[in-house]
Structure 1
Amino acid sequence: MRRRESMKVAILSFYDFGEFGGGTEIFIKHLQKVFPDSDHIKYSDTSSFKKLPKLHKINLEEVRMGFAIGLKFHQMHRERDYDLLISNGIAGWYLSILRPDIPAINVSHFTYKGLADHALRGTPGYYPSKYFIPTFEKINFYGKVNVAVSEKTQRELKKYYHCDAKVIHNGVSLERFKPYDKKLSREILGIDWEGPLGIFVGRAEHAKGFDVIESISKLMPSIKVLCVTSSPVRNKDLIVIENLPHNMMPFCYSASDFFIFPSRYESASYSALEAMACDLPVVVSRTGIFEDIPEEHVGKIITSFKPEDYCNAIKEILRGEKYPTRQYVSEHFSFERFSENYKDLARMLIKE
């Protein structure tokens, strides 16, 4: 067994946060803090392999990208002699064929079949996600210890692929994400609104329930929804902030009275955890972590996508009942817990 002061870890994914600021990219930033001696290998690092045939016309581009990332890892492993590989989804599928001589962890942030069933019906991405990409998703499980980011994802891995996975919850920093003064936060963000304010964070698309958000804004003109998104949104009924730096998010949550997220499919939403860390009650759909969290701890969990049901839940939230959301995150989703869980797993695998 190699003995080093710190573990050399290779982290594989399609993008970094500067390229695509989603939940997986936030996860990777957290993982880099857990493993300071790590290299993040992403598709933009694979320039020498980009001459491979493109597959975007048949919605299999991520399969091609995973192949290139696997070749890049193989090249870098000869130079860096890593102790551990952590793959995020099918970014590491080809390494189940190459089989490097070090322990490997696969982190499943969702399943393609689950995404297809719940959010992609009627879209061009449905058939590839339901029937083609899962072949590579299943290949990706071999030769790795499989981790799911939530119990929901764990259940889907078992249901669709008969794959056993260990759950390690995502974590957020309660030092960074904490409540600030509401009035000051609105001033910092330039929000000229004194009434009730909800916050939606995510892409403005059907899968995230943005159609429900737009309906709520028309049904409840006495409130406003702050929409923090990377999507171009033109809706005079919403307060829209596009492409906001992530370090400004605590002020967005603190400026708001509740978090609203009628997403049709999630596994472990970082924006929900960040909002709760800032002590916001939530009005959310029953997906992801909210399939397993008791409603009385966090706010209102809705089992439909009817705008009227969300409006009624918002009215109940605005009556002022307190929910221990920050305490719940502290007990179940802290960064410290996340860090120790991944360190413990890494130590165990390297020791073996």
Structure 2
Amino acid sequence: MIIALIRRGYITHLDGVNRFIALLAEGFAKLGHEPIIVSWCYSGVNRARLEEWFKEVHGLDNPLPIYTLRSGPCEGDPRLAIAWDWWSKGSRLLHKEGVEAAVVNEVVPLRFRHKIVVNHGITIRPNRLYLLIVRKLYRGYDKVICVSNKLRDEVRKVLGVDCDVIPLPLKLDLCRPVEHHDRENIVVHIGTRPVKNPWISIEAIKILRTRGHNIKLVVIGPSSSLPKVEGVEYKYAIPEEEKLELICRSKALILPSSYEALPYTTLEATACGTPVVVSSAIPEEAVIDGFNGIRVNSFDPQDYANALERLLLDEELWLRLSKNGLEFVKQFNYIEISKRYINIIHELL
């Protein structure tokens, strides 16, 4: 079965939506199907290397075919132009390639039967016109999927749309846990956008260093103008393999985000056996307090420093959270998640 995995905007964004597309596509391929990836556009990557780049950055076994509605690189997020391209070009491309079903990430106006839309999070404050348009678009889809129970409640409340919940797919064999005694005194923070609150992580590390802890923070994400601080290292746009290797040899991951629907970051850390310290914005289906991580009910750097200090000083606690996490994360195996989508597609055909 030929299945299209669609990204409304850019297939080159280094984010959880494209990670989802990459792993679900590989899962479909391993189950004997023929996935293709279709995106509005790309940016920052030579088109001739796009498929190989996508394979490398997402840790895939083989390249996947990628199609873009725009032939050249693009800039910005022109919503009307993107919507028009999907309406006028998207369905023609899918029919031309013999696509039988589509898994669409971020709702688009698509004239095509047998389509599922996946909601990854409500990241803007919608006005009445936006709600009117989006609700109409959602009604044109056969099935709506949300990536967490928390998001399902938000989608019902904000958009008035019901959805089924299927969690994110995770490729567990990319994560290679390191024994506690072989780990470095490193804490990892993923994400440089304001919603990820990297300043909280930076301040928390500064507090720990003033208390005498020889600890370093590594911030990973897109390039930014974050300040140079002693004990803080920035790694921008690094390959997936390098990122996971760093998480797997660190003492902890910190994620004090203001909003998350279901972050890959915490799942990857858990698969590395790395305990996480997170804000209450992270769904409990990703991090259970005292089981595979520590939840902090504030955005005060002092509270995050205290939580990290517990992990640094209490090896028994660290080992218990690490062991629990390695079992907990098995439920996100990308092959099993892919099977759930295939079952839905079979029901639609």
- Range class of TM-score, shorter chain: 0.7 to 0.9
* 1:143 maps onto 2:143 in alignment: no
Equivalent residue of 1:290, what SS?
coil
1:261: how far off?
A: 0.3
Q: Is the 8 A contact 1:173 1:334 kept in 2?
A: yes
Q: Does 1:317 align with 2:311?
A: yes
Residue of 251, 260, 276 corresponding to 1:257: 251
After superposing the two structures, state which structure 1 stretch, 281-290 or 304-313, moved more.
281-290
Partner of 1:245: 239
**Deviations 1:43-78 (CA, angstroms, capped at 9, x unpaired):** 122237999xx9x6xxx7234313313322221133
Find 1:158's aligned residue among 144, 156, 159.
156
Give yes or no for the alignment of 1:86 onto 2:86. no
Matched to 1:47, the amino acid is: R
Which structure 2 segments of 5+ residues have no match? 42-67
Partner in structure 2 of residue 43 of structure 1: 40
Residues 1-352 of structure 1 mapped to structure 2, 5 A cutoff: 7-15=1-9, 19-36=12-29, 37-44=34-41, 45-47=68-70, 61-90=78-107, 92=108, 94-95=109-110, 98=111, 100=112, 102-112=113-123, 115-116=124-125, 129-130=126-127, 133-144=130-141, 145-180=143-178, 196-202=185-191, 204-221=192-209, 222=213, 223-232=215-224, 233-237=226-230, 238-290=232-284, 293-318=287-312, 319-320=314-315, 321=317, 322-323=320-321, 324-330=324-330, 332-350=331-349
| CA deviations over 1:115-150 (Å, ceiling 9, x no partner) | 44xxxxxxxxxxxx4555444432331121000011
What are the superposed Cα offsets for residues 83-134 of structure 1, whole Å, 9 maximum, x if unpaired? 11211113x2x12xx3x2x21100000124xx44xxxxxxxxxxxx455544
Q: Check conservation: 1:180, 1:251, Cα contact below 8 A.
A: no
Question: Identity across aligned pairs (percent)?
Answer: 21
**Counterpart of 1:339 in 2: which secondary structure?**
helix
Once the two structures are superposed, what CA deviation does each residue of 1:181-206 show, in whole Å capped at 9, x if it has no partner?
Answer: 67888xxxxxxxx5x3211111x232
Q: For the residues of structure 2 that align with 1:162 and 1:309, how far apart are their CA atoms?
A: 36
Aligned to 1:85, the other structure's residue is in SS state strand
Distance 1:24 1:292, change over 3 A: closer
Aligned partners of 2:205, 2:170: CA distance in 1, in Å? 29
Tell me the TM-score normalised to structure 1 length. Answer: 0.79
After superposing the two structures, state which structure 1 stretch, 76-85 or 256-265, moved more: 76-85
Contact 1:15–1:25 (8 Å) recurs in 2: no
For the Cα contact (< 8 Å) 2:7–2:106, is it kept in 1? yes
Contact 2:266/2:286 (CA < 8 Å) preserved in 1? no
RMSD of aligned C-alpha atoms?
Answer: 2.5
Q: Distance in 2 between matches of 1:77 and 1:271?
A: 32
Q: Matched residues in 2 for 1:272 and 1:341: separation?
A: 22
- Deviation per residue, 1:196-241 (Å, 9 max, x gap): 3211111x23211112112113222122211111123442331221
Determine the C-alpha separation between the residues in 2 that align with 1:49 and 1:67: 17
**Alpha-carbon separation, structure 2, partners of 1:257 and 1:49:** 43
- Corresponding residue SS for 1:14: strand
Task: Report the residue type matching 1:173 in the other structure.
Answer: K
1:281 Cα offset (Å): 0.7
**Matched residue count:** 306
CA contact (8 A) 1:148 1:167 kept: yes
Structure 1 183/297 Cα, relative in aligned 2: closer, same or farther at 3 Å?
Answer: closer
Moved more, 267-276 or 335-344: 335-344
Amino acid at match of 2:25: Q
CA distance in 1, matches of 2:311, 2:105: 36
Give 3-state SS (helix, strand or coil) of 1:9's partner.
strand
The CA distance in 1 between the partners of 2:205 and 2:302, in whole Å, is 11
